[in-house]
Structure 1
């Protein structure tokens, strides 16, 4: 089988993105499963080689077809020159550069020159300084693809977690937990896993209140909205159960009882995933016409350039992109 080609964006040049990119591509197992092509700045990447003690060559290319795809060489599409900047500092040029890398990688996906993209972290303040009209990766990708509401899924070990709500206050998130939204998300989550080639798709919906509300003893959200939403999804053929108390549902999923969990709010699912394995928690943006995986940590400006940032998350993001790419057809 031909190995998939994965576009790897370097992230904010002032953060740990460049060094974890180098660290990832210093692993032979990455090249065993895919051909990684970095989109970024070759000069910055070369400066990270001694930082990571990596004995690698940097191959500057203009087209994906020029990639060697061989361990020991980092193939990189070099996008323009980058004015002087300081590691660990918010910078408009770095924010703009990070944006440009993502945009170019999306174009490669849309042209079917690569089969997926894996992204290193970007910095929201740097994006703002560059007057980029998006707050983060998900918003950019949705804008480029013309998609209104992409789905975020975490995968860690054999556990998958979707999110009904994300960047909202808890009070506002509860207001979004309607039966219509639960129904819609379960249908979309099922379609997302199907597109990734997952044949078994049994979902559990996490409860909101202690013990999922105990039939109204500790709140009525489960009775009035969450359970009716699950029942609507069941009526359309979705294999879903719940609400299952949040203090047990993630453990059960990790042990194979469910193929995915629908988390009701941001921290509910984030805590479960990151306590399982912080570095191996990988984000997949579903609902896009192309496949994108990402680390789920930030730019770590405080340690940028010190060579101590772990590349495990970046390695896992690339490997997960390679895992699902053969099943995912870019539209």
Structure 2
């Protein structure tokens, strides 16, 4: 074994929107670092004073496994109160994590939730973490996948992400769906240790188009894409009606479901896993996981926020980085 292979994994954690729950969730999760993740070391990116003020254990957070990398707030932050003056600070945390992952300093990054409106109000056009990661890493196509936990977790990936519903059909193409399936298949093999992933694919329309009577996307786009993907060796049956696909008898042999749009697959996933689910960006040259919830401004600073999703996101980041290193 090479020395680099035996070195601890290096994981960066952004603390996200300072008025939200991110800082306290990072601190709460990393309170378990010494026992839960013995093969990893962590760098927490955020304002040290904010962490000390917002998270009760933050003053004692730094140890042999956890380093706080101080990036200063633009203005003081109050729990639950958004301030556009800190929009660029939030983006700076993400940039620091991405830069560190690209140059090999970090094996993976875990992102706490941010508030898109704060960044936009600061004068920076921002659609979301997923799109920004793709832009910063010059990745032409990435895939958003949310997942539960456990021995055989429910995973749902998306063919389109943050689009108005009226734009979804036009955004679907044979080439796009094939590339999305290729990314899912590759990353489930490389980062999740699945030797032969099975990806169930939904249709777009009710009843998967009802043989064309309720829409032709299944016939003209999704079906041909699946034929091409299967010819490439990807196990991707479908398209299935989304309203009946999410049943145990269908999911028991599936490693992932590919849904056509955001609110087709994610309500089911979040109903089944909320508080323990995670968000993973597939297709990037770096590993990125995140929580499956937002900034929870109403819970910030109350001590009531549940760190379960953050813990699961760190679990997955460590596991994915281990698989990548072993590969």
TM-score of the aligned structures, taking structure 1 as reference length: 0.88
Partner of 2:244: 248
Partner of 1:130: 122
CA contact (8 A) 2:79 2:301 kept: yes
- State the shift of 1:182 in Å: 2.1
Ranges in structure 2 where 5+ consecutive residues have no aligned partner: 1-5
Partner of 2:171: 176
Alpha-carbon distance between aligned partners in 2 of 1:286 and 1:119, rounded to the nearest angstrom? 14
The structure 2 residue matched to 1:26, chosen from 26, 31, 36, is 31
Partner of 2:42: 36
Matched, 1:79 2:74: no
Matches within 5 A, 1:11-160: 11-28=16-33, 29-32=35-38, 34-50=40-56, 54=57, 57-59=60-62, 68-69=64-65, 74-80=66-72, 82-157=74-149, 158-160=153-155
Alpha-carbon distance between aligned partners in 2 of 1:122 and 1:155, rounded to the nearest angstrom? 19
CA contact (8 A) 2:30 2:61 kept: no
- State the shift of 1:45 in Å: 0.7
Matched, 1:306 2:302: yes
Matched, 1:167 2:167: no
CA contact (8 A) 2:52 2:59 kept: no
Ranges in structure 1 where 5+ consecutive residues have no aligned partner: 60-66
Q: Secondary structure at the match of 1:168?
A: coil
Partner of 1:63: none
- State the shift of 1:248 in Å: 3.1
Partner of 1:281: 277
Alpha-carbon distance between aligned partners in 2 of 1:58 and 1:93, rounded to the nearest angstrom? 27
Alpha-carbon distance between aligned partners in 2 of 1:145 and 1:180, rounded to the nearest angstrom? 21
CA contact (8 A) 1:159 1:253 kept: no
Partner of 2:3: none
Partner of 1:198: 194
Q: 1:294 and 1:223, CA in 2 relative to 1: closer, same or farther beyond 3 A?
A: same
Alpha-carbon distance between aligned partners in 2 of 1:192 and 1:257, rounded to the nearest angstrom? 18
Matched, 1:322 2:318: yes
Q: Secondary structure at the match of 1:241?
A: coil
Matches within 5 A, 1:211-222: 211-222=207-218
Q: 1:246 and 1:319, CA in 2 relative to 1: closer, same or farther beyond 3 A?
A: same
Alpha-carbon distance between aligned partners in 1 of 2:200 and 2:45, rounded to the nearest angstrom? 38
Q: Secondary structure at the match of 1:215?
A: helix
- State the shift of 1:81 in Å: 5.1
Q: 1:75 and 1:112, CA in 2 relative to 1: closer, same or farther beyond 3 A?
A: same
**1:124-164 CA deviation, whole Å, 9 max, x = no partner?**
12112322343321232122211232211111131222111
TM-score of the aligned structures, taking structure 2 as reference length: 0.89
The structure 2 residue matched to 1:189, chosen from 159, 184, 187, is 184
Moved more, 7-16 or 217-226: 217-226
Partner of 1:264: 260
CA contact (8 A) 2:183 2:282 kept: no
The structure 2 residue matched to 1:296, chosen from 282, 285, 292, is 292
Matched, 1:10 2:6: no
| RMSD between aligned residues | 2.2
Q: Count the aligned residue pairs.
A: 316
CA contact (8 A) 1:147 1:288 kept: yes
